[in-house]
Structure 1
Amino acid sequence: MADQKGGFPEGRFMGTVKVGEKGQIVIPKTARDMFGIKPGDTLLLLADSRQGIAIVRNETFVDYTNQILNTSPLGKHDEEEK
């Protein structure tokens, strides 16, 4: 089922942004709302010259990294805590 904004299914968004003179972009409101991005939030920009650019919430990346490294939020390995 398509949502009312842009005809995309719920949870999906596509749009364009322009890069300003200072290299800044504006994240469209629909995307900010979708991801709960608020002023002052820290986002992580990942770039690969062949694959492109991805922007993720810093907390999401830290959580993912901790899962990969099998660490607790404090940076201690789970095995050390047992």
Structure 2
Amino acid sequence: MAEEKPKLILRTVKVGERGQIVIPKDIRDFFDIESGETLIITGHKDKITIMKEEIMREMSLQILEKLEENENE
């Protein structure tokens, strides 16, 4: 049986003098984040989200496809 992924991962990080944060290794491994990879940071009100660029691209394409479907109805 495949190992079930956790629903929540919680870690603390510190912001350095230059505004940099380090993503802990276990989180980089879990999300398959590699050195040099581009991530997207979004913010809304008091929340910050970090996601892989490819995920944001896929989500954007899905939204555009849905909008196109609605226009054709």
TM-score of the superposition, structure 2-length normalised? 0.77
1:13 deviates by: 1.5
Q: Which consecutive unaligned segments of at least 5 residues does structure 2 have?
A: none
1:34 aligns with 2:43: no
Structure holding more helix per residue: 2
Percent of paired sites with the same residue: 41
- How far apart in 2 are the matches of 1:10 and 1:68? 26
CA RMSD between the two structures = 2.1
Return structure 1 stretches of 4+ with deviation > 4 angstroms.
Answer: none
- How far apart in 1 are the matches of 2:34 and 2:18? 21
Query: Relative contact order (alpha carbons < 8 A, sep ≥ 6): 1 or 2 greater?
Result: 2
**Which residue pairs with 1:55 in the alignment?**
50
Q: How does 1:1-82 map to 2 (within 5 A)?
A: 10-11=5-6, 12-48=8-44, 50-70=45-65
Count matched residues. Answer: 64
Q: Which consecutive unaligned segments of at least 5 residues does structure 1 have?
A: 1-8, 72-76
